[in-house]
């Protein structure tokens, strides 16, 4: 399955941070739901593709003016 990259560097950094915090919160509160949401955030940052962005045509890879 070939998915287009639609998560830019700033978006990925935010997803890593938010996902990490959610995973930590899940550990301390023993909430599996927070852990799953955190893993999804980290996974989408790592893969560079957010399936929720596809139907709306959102693409954050072009933010910041870095074309290279």
Q: What pLDDT, on the 0 to 100 scale, is given for residue 2?
A: 78
Q: Where are the domains of the chain?
A: 18-55
In the predicted structure, residue 17 carries a pLDDT above the cut 90:
yes
Residues 68, 9: Cα–Cα separation, whole Å: 12
pLDDT, mean of residues 8-33: 97
Q: What is the DSSP string of 23-42?
A: HHHHHHHT-HHHHHHHHHHH
pLDDT, mean of residues 9-17: 96
Cα torsion 9, 10, 16, 19: sign: negative
C-beta separation of 14 from 33 below 8 A:
no
In the predicted structure, residue 42 carries a pLDDT above the cut 90:
yes
Q: What pLDDT, on the 0 to 100 scale, is given for residue 68?
A: 39
Q: What pLDDT, on the 0 to 100 scale, is given for residue 63?
A: 64
pLDDT, mean of residues 48-59: 91
pTM, two decimals, is 0.83
């Amino acid at each position: 399955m070939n998915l287009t990259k639609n998560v830019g560097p700033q978006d990925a950094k935010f997803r890593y941070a938010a996902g990490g915090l959610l995973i930590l919160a899940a550990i301390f509160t023993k909430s599996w739901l927070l852990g799953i949401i955190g893993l999804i955030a980290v996974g989408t940052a790592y893969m560079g593709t957010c399936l929720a962005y596809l139907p709306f045509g959102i693409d954050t890879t072009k933010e910041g003016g870095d074309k290279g």
